[in-house]
A and B are shown apart, each in its own frame.
Chain A
Amino acid sequence: MSVPRFWRRRRSLYSLEGSKCAKCGKLYFPSRLRCVECNSYELENYLFSGEGKIVTYSWVYTPPQGFDSSIPYCLAIVELVEGPRLTTQVVGLAEAEIKIGMPVEFSFRKISTEGDEGVITYGFKFRPKGYPNHKK
């Protein structure tokens, strides 16, 4: 991803920071400037807890350019406990271990790189909740 594009969104990428409308309370991930529910511009930073669950997933064998992940990597839609959904990779588990409904938590990983000399984009991926003690 180009530098300004991910830099602009670094807090959403790095720590799951979104927005909360001060007027109507609606939560957004990623952050945005205007509430489409009540049209207010008074949106505050809101740090999501990082907890969520798997809604659906797929193990991807043909990545787009710049993705360092192991092939296959797990792509999923995660629903955060606070409500919003996002698309993300799931790490820290083997293919047989993932299940729809499984609780997951935020994990900080490399997302993509632009070749050997370009910038590295870091951000969120999700892993089993309670990692590394999630199997206990």
Chain B
Amino acid sequence: MRISQQVSAHDERIVLLHFEGDLNASDCDATSKIFQDIIDSRKYFIVALMENVTFVSSPLLGELMGCKLRLVEKGGNMVVVGLNYDLRERLIQMGADKIFQFYPDTHTAYNHYHWEYTQTAQVVNITLPPKLQSVPAVRRFIAGIAKQKGYTSRDSFRIETIVDEIANNAIEHGDTSQPEITVELRIDRKKFELLVRNKTLMDKANQLKYVLEANKETAQTGDTRGRGLALVKLISNSINVSIDKSGTEVKITKMREDS
């Protein structure tokens, strides 16, 4: 086994560890020392580059798991990059995929790092015509982003519901002459924020405020108004409505459930 290390040019908080050859049981002590030296230098994020690794023994895999645990305890992590197909399959059989994230290249590993540890957010702006038929594609698109970003199926479904209800509301109660509705989505590892802007008639906008402030928490069979907003209020963490002559702005925040 040969290991070399370098600080990433991409971000100095990341250390790239290049592994080569067979990683045998006899390499455990040396591996442990290298990791400890890195931790002592206060660097807690390691990308293990394994494109030139031909074998990983069970004891050394165990050692790597222990090293990762030490990093996690310091608020860091280690991910594995560049495994060949056979080695990747073997590591999966050994259960290593439950402990380590495997990435095909360093670029993807850096993306993971930024998403998980540097509060990076993704912002998506969508403009849609004020037609109910335009909403399903938008709600599924946004739910898909949430799922792709690691939100649970339950969270993604709730996000889909929030987008659907708020967009439908903006269309159904909006000024019929409004040219468009804008939807702004900001999503990061911990929370999802949705901002929907449209032109709403003032009396409708005041009804909207009334429904929100009325603290409705259930829907009766004869009660057809406000059920969607009541639902959104119950599945989100905050909802704010601002109304002025230029239009209505609804802002919803939902925290990721496993954050």
A binds B: no
B positions within 8 Å CB-CB of A:
none
